[in-house]
Amino acid sequence: DLHLLSRRQRQMCIRDSNEVFEIAVRMYPDDPVSNLNAANAALMRRDAEAAHRYLQKAMEGPQKELAKETLKELEKQLKERK
């Protein structure tokens, strides 16, 4: 269970998952699920440009809408930092 893992172990699991998502989207660049997962991984890295690119090919649905809202908030935060 993830709740039993240390913070460092959780971070490593997240990093490994993100790497898998990046590999999947490179292997299947037009796959809507791979693009949604890669978009979410990009959002976790605070990479708005990559998230936007992946969301263009992501599958439609509530997960995509949530990711789009998260991207808007991230872009707002990044703009405020400048």
Per-residue pLDDT of the chain (82 residues; tens, 9 = 90+): 556 667 676 666 667 677 888 889 999 999 999 999 999 999 999 999 999 999 999 999 999 999 999 999 999 999 998 7
Q: How many residues does the chain have?
A: 82
What is the model's pLDDT at position 82?
75
pLDDT of 5 reads 63
Taking each helix axis as running N to C, give the angle between helix 62-81 and helix 32-44, from 0 to 180 degrees, rounded to the nearest 10. 30
pLDDT of residue 30: 97
End-to-end CA distance of the chain: give it in Å, rounded: 40
**pLDDT value of residue 58:** 97
